[in-house]
Every structure is written in C-alpha cells, then in structure tokens.
Amino acid sequence: MPLVEIRPPAFPVLLDLRYATADNLTGAPIYRRPACYLNAEAAGLLHKAIALAAQMQLRLKVFDAFRPTEAAWALWNHTPDPTFLADPRKGSPHSRGAAVDVTLVDADGEELDMGTGFDAFTPLAFHGVLEITPEQQANRALLLGIMTSAGWDFYRNEWWHYQLFQPRRYPLLSDAAAGTDMM
C-alpha cells in the first residue's frame, strides 16, 4: 500500500516531526530522517482539516503521522504504557498510516495553548479534562471540531491524536514495507 508524503506545498501544514529529533519522550531521535506520510484515505481527510482550519485563519502543525513498526517498538520499549501507546504486538493506527498527531497554530505560527505539550503522558492530556483553563479547553474543542468535521476519529487520552475510523482495515507497515526510509 503506497503512502502519501505530507509536505508543503501540497499539504500547507507546519511540520515539527518530534520523533526525528531528541525533543520527544525518549530524549533521542527515533526516526533517522524527518518524513511524514499517511495512507491515501487519511491524506484526503487531512486536506479537509487543513481547509477547515484555514477558514479560521489557522493552520495545522503535524508532530507525527505514519510510524513504522520499528519506531512503535522503540517507543514501547522506552515507555510501555498502554494508556498512551499502542502495544506493537497489536499495532497502532500510526503504523498503518491511519493516524496523525496535530495541533493548531495561528497566523504567526504560534501554537494555540492546549494545556499540555505533545506527548504529555498525563491525565491532563485527556479530552474533556476540567483541570485546564477555559481558553485551553476552547482550543482543544476547536481542534476536535475541525478534525471530527473533516472525518477523523479521536483518541480520548490524547488531545493531539486523530485517526481513521476502523484503522485496523489497513495493514501494519514496517519502514521497508512502506518504502519510507525513515529508520
């Protein structure tokens, strides 16, 4: 199954691919090179979300999308917490090219305040928490509205994670099988 590369100008998003840097939960790069891919269905829904955000003078910033199975294992071996990471034996929507981790940025490229950062493995990252400010709740609701209106499902424990409905209809992909040369 070919994947679609997500990059400007075809996809007018900001890329902040955290797993290609040390700025992630492991403190070390997971990906050998920064690249962002989705399967064709997910790429189509991302286009819809981009258009909806643009109507509000906002843009999407992408932290992660396709995650080769090798990367899923690296994350799991570092932090085997099923509250926030899919057990690689079962597979993640990310490893199927069927999930994206995003936030919203304003016209200046500044992230809207969501109450926690990306990959904050804490209950404060859950959708619907009341222990964040009303502005942070509104920003999360805005992101949720954009993404779900574009056809995405959400993961209740991570405000940044959106995936296709029924992602398991797509196969798990290693870096070699996907041909992404990320690992």
SS (H, E, C) the chain: CCCEECCCCCCCCEECCHHHCCCCCCCCCCCCCCCCEECHHHHHHHHHHHHHHHCCCCEEEEEECCCCHHHHHHHHHHCCCCCCCCCCCCCCCHHHCCEEEEEEECCCCCECCCCCCCCCCCHHHCCCCCCCCHHHHHHHHHHHHHHHHCCCEECCCCCCEEECCCHHHCCCCCHHHHCCCCC
Is the confidence at residue 172, as pLDDT, over 80?
yes
Residue 1's pLDDT is what? 67
Is the separation of the CB atoms in 66 and 20 below 8 Å?
Answer: no
- Please compute the mean of the pLDDT values over residues 6-14 and round it to a whole number: 97
pLDDT in tens, 63-118: 999 999 999 999 999 999 999 999 999 999 999 999 999 999 999 999 999 999 99
Annotated catalytic residue: which of 5, 41, 111, 158?
Answer: 158
pLDDT in tens, 115-134: 999 999 999 999 999 999 99
Dihedral sign from CA coordinates of 158, 164, 169, 171: negative
Q: Is 158 a catalytic residue?
A: yes
Is the confidence at residue 174, as pLDDT, over 80?
yes
- In the chain, where are the structural domains located? 4-178
Tokens, residue 56: 């509000």
Tokens, residue 3: 């994947």
Categorize the per-residue pLDDT at 2 as very low, low, confident or very high, splitting at 50, 70 and 90: confident
Is the confidence at residue 177, as pLDDT, over 90?
yes
- b/e per residue 149-174 (b: at least 16 CB within 10 A): ebbbbbbeebbbbbbbeebeebebbe
Q: In the chain, what percentage of residues exceed pLDDT 90?
A: 97
CATH code: domain 4-178 is 3.30.1380.10
